[in-house]
Structure 1
Amino acid sequence: MTKPVVAIVGRPNVGKSTIFNRIAGERIAIVEDVEGVTRDRIYAEAEWLGKSFSVIDTGGITMDDAPLMTQIRFQAEIAMDEADVIIFLTSVNEGITDADEQIANILFKSGKPIVLAVNKVDNPEKRSDIYEFYSLGLGDPYPISGSHGLGLGDLLDEVFKHFPENNGEEYDDSVIKFSLIGRPNVGKSSIVNAMVGEERVIVSNVAGTTRDAIDTTFVNPEGREYVIIDTAGIRKRGKVYENTEKYSVLRAFTAIERSDVVLVVLNAEEGIREQDKRVAGYAHEAGKGIVLLVNKWDVIEKETNTMREFEKTVRKEFAYLHYAPILFVSAETKQRLSQIPDLVEQVSMNQNLRIQSSLLNDVIMDAVAMNPTPTDNGKRLRIYYATQVAVKPPTFVIFVNDPELMHFSYARYLENRIRETFTFEGTTIRLIPRKRK
């Protein structure tokens, strides 16, 4: 199921990031205390009245050297490309500005549903000031206050009215969907072409030449069907977006959302960059299966321990992906590419693995016997029972006397014991401490 996407657009200083954080709620804070997961957010998962959707903060996507209006136009165009519904955010304090009128004109031509929000209506006296915003021609303005959280419910109710009716996935559940994500020019398209054996994707060594995300279906010799969601699309409808790497990251999110397994492609020649970590961090947070592919391995001069040393570097830089297998490949020579489908299938199986409660509890109790639960202010954590409540990713609820006593390090210890006993290579597993009623 593909989630609807909402983008927040507006000129600077109208409070886009505040509204973004409000809508995304606590999800915006990365809950894992793990080094290397980026905190620079332009995209988040959100929920309203039990329904999930994705939200984009276009204020986080900038062309640093461009004039202000060019930047604003650029952000509005990204919103029009990526979103199902656009929240156009203005501010009651300044009234309608020239920039607001220009953005309204751009958005009006998009044909996308636009919901007009007037921010900073912090008290009842300001409500009468919203009527001038009718002149933008975008329908009813919704008064809100990001700093106080006022009016967001009415705004989201209106947004929800415009979500597309059918957001379902077009593939059968038995089909494994995987995507290749990574910086421009790491060789994603070349890997797809080499795997599929035909030129299905335009390949060029200029970063960002793939025109759009392209789904490629192929069947392995055993008859297993796969869909490759190629995320190399850095340009859309002829617009050139390569000058901001954040946009290429944003394009990957939609594909991550649709994938069962995500292949994070690294460039062996260039080493690991910050953007690699950012994209991988989102796949990790989304709970997807993950494989790290080190491409262009054919051009690296080898010595006895070259691969082992590179693997050490990858493990250090991606400490939070300790569970992800690493495969060294070459799209040019097709080295080890034949191993990818089997690895993807194995990771997908691990994502769907269910553990019997009796076996799970044996492992947990053995772990507690080997390393007793911690105490805090004289109070000891007691673990009563554990059960698996979900797959994709495998999620376990552990019933305890007080969830606050489940320290991060002890949860990690339990996770490691579970991983040692059952095969969870390539997938996150989630442990949720819950107070026993």
Structure 2
Amino acid sequence: MSNYIITIVGRPNVGKSTLFNRIVGKRDAIVDETPGVTRDRHYAFADWAGKFFTLVDTGGYIPKAESIIEKAMREQVQIAISEANLVLFLCDANDGATPFDFEIADILRKANKKVLLVVNKVDNEKKEISAAQFNQLGLGEPFTISALVGRKIGDLLDVLTQDIPKKEKPSTDTRMKIAVIGKPNVGKSSFVNALLGTDKHIVTQIPGTTRDPIDSILKYYGEEILLIDTAGLRRKSKIKENIEFYSVLRTIRSIERCDIAMLLLDAGQGIDKQDLHIVENVVEHKRGILICVNKWDLIEKDENTAKEFEQKIKMMLRVYDFIPVIFISAKTKQRIFKTIEIAKRIFEERNKRIQTSKLNDVILKVIEHHPPSSTSGKEIKIKHIVQVKTSPPVFTFFVNHPELIQQAYIRFLENKIREKFGFEGVPLTLKFKRK
């Protein structure tokens, strides 16, 4: 990301996420009419006329917040402001300058940051004139826009980026990307915070407090790893709010973006059908996967507890028994960095290519001893095998009757490839072509 950081702050529901999405050019932050839906800082890389910067979308700022979430939001906004080179203070033309706006203006003055006052939802001449009332906030002449329709966004970006020097566009990101996923309240944000050694994510005991995925950089022995902390996944049948619906979509998109998915379980709850649904989602996307059993410090155990727990998980996983399992505690930091070592190993396995001659020598011998069953009086002959792709690995089997290969035999061949060549934590694709 760029070193120049622009942070958007303002009261709840003034249009911060709409403006964020308008600038970034994609629907990246959750946008909903419910005040306070953007509860954690959200980062995105953006550019304008060859100038690159990091844009931060913050939760709605409530200066004298009472609830746990509102207090956490306030702290997060204060952190985001402290990181910023420029603060974009967004107000709502429809509401006028409110007492909250005055309080935020006072806080920004004390922060000693460069501030641009922007009044949103100005889509006609009458509102343009009334926007002058925001002068009384004491932050200079307000800049008027309409984020929803895109009015004066180009002019706004000219002003926002005037102090940023032109740079070469960064090269394509080759860092390993890890998505931290799981049901609500299994400790995803606590886990990411423990890895980072910071309190970047809102952490409370209320399920679903991380609604948007947040990207963080973990520097691990000189290597940069991208961590994506996602919203808690919920089954579609249980989604009652638009916000939760968007969160599920965002988590699925996070799976699409990642190389490795770390599925966190709560040791006190074990694994259930919803967790299996998440596993299926990851496997369908052909991403590497690791199961992390969190809160292990709270479990009474003897020398066999971990082994028995792992066996129960493997029984539930069945066809997904290639997924490694590790027992951790985000709270005590027990084995949290071991998860990164395993993720790195899975990443390497996902990028591994088996030499064609070696693949055929080994697997054709297996097929010779355990050939596919004849069907409809037709003998099935597999003649050649090639690994045609890595990341994710894809194997093509050339066969005389590909349509007759049964699912059980495909599973048998996949198990043999794993037995002979590894691929722990990596979904494989086996294709059959006529020859």
Band of TM-score, shorter chain: 0.5 to 0.7
One-letter code aligned to 1:200: K
Identity %: 42
Q: CA RMSD in A?
A: 2.8
SS at match of 2:269: coil
- The answer on 1:232 being equivalent to 2:228 is no
**CA shift in 2, pair 1:234/1:420, >3 Å:** closer
- Deviation sequence 1:143-164 (CA, Å, 0-9, x none): xxxxxxxxxxxxxxxxxxxxxx
Size of the aligned set, in residue pairs, is 269
SS at match of 2:303: coil
Give the corresponding residue for 1:298: 297
Counterpart Cα distance in 1 of 2:260 and 2:423: 13
Counterpart Cα distance in 1 of 2:306 and 2:233: 31
**CA shift in 2, pair 1:244/1:367, >3 Å:** farther
Q: CA deviation at 1:373?
A: 2.4
Give the corresponding residue for 2:126: none
Is contact 1:233-1:251 (8 Å) kept?
Answer: no
- The answer on 1:345 being equivalent to 2:351 is no
SS at match of 1:208: coil
What are the residue-to-residue correspondences of 1:285-364 with 2, within 5 Å? Answer: 285-364=284-363
One-letter code aligned to 2:432: P
Q: CA deviation at 1:184?
A: 0.6
Q: CA deviation at 1:170?
A: 8.0
- If the length of structure 1 is used for normalisation, what is the TM-score? 0.57
Q: CA deviation at 1:369?
A: 2.2
- The answer on 1:217 being equivalent to 2:217 is yes
Q: CA deviation at 1:411?
A: 1.3
SS at match of 1:379: coil
- Deviation sequence 1:380-431 (CA, Å, 0-9, x none): 2100111111112100110000112211111111111111111201101111
Give the corresponding residue for 1:51: none
SS at match of 1:331: coil
Q: CA deviation at 1:200?
A: 1.3
- The answer on 1:205 being equivalent to 2:205 is yes
Give the corresponding residue for 1:403: 402
SS at match of 2:215: strand
One-letter code aligned to 1:195: L
What are the residue-to-residue correspondences of 1:75-224 with 2, within 5 Å? Answer: 172-221=172-221, 223-224=222-223
- Deviation sequence 1:250-307 (CA, Å, 0-9, x none): 3310100000000011111112232212122110110000001110111011023211
Q: CA deviation at 1:241?
A: 6.5
- Deviation sequence 1:196-242 (CA, Å, 0-9, x none): 11111111110111242110001112x1210001103789xxxx967
Counterpart Cα distance in 1 of 2:342 and 2:171: 21
Counterpart Cα distance in 1 of 2:199 and 2:246: 26
Counterpart Cα distance in 2 of 1:327 and 1:234: 20
Counterpart Cα distance in 2 of 1:400 and 1:187: 47
One-letter code aligned to 2:275: D
SS at match of 2:337: helix
SS at match of 1:375: coil
Give the corresponding residue for 1:412: 411
Counterpart Cα distance in 1 of 2:353 and 2:417: 12
Larger Rg: 2
- Deviation sequence 1:315-374 (CA, Å, 0-9, x none): 111223211110100001111001121111110111111111111111221111221221
One-letter code aligned to 1:205: Q
Is contact 2:262-2:292 (8 Å) kept?
Answer: yes
**CA shift in 2, pair 1:277/1:388, >3 Å:** same
SS at match of 1:374: coil
One-letter code aligned to 1:294: V
SS at match of 2:348: helix
Counterpart Cα distance in 1 of 2:186 and 2:406: 39
One-letter code aligned to 1:304: E
What are the residue-to-residue correspondences of 1:32-111 with 2, within 5 Å? Answer: none
Counterpart Cα distance in 2 of 1:317 and 1:292: 13
Is contact 1:242-1:248 (8 Å) kept?
Answer: no
**CA shift in 2, pair 1:216/1:289, >3 Å:** same
Counterpart Cα distance in 1 of 2:336 and 2:293: 11
Counterpart Cα distance in 2 of 1:268 and 1:298: 9
What are the residue-to-residue correspondences of 1:16-27 with 2, within 5 Å? Answer: none
Counterpart Cα distance in 2 of 1:317 and 1:249: 23
Counterpart Cα distance in 2 of 1:393 and 1:252: 20
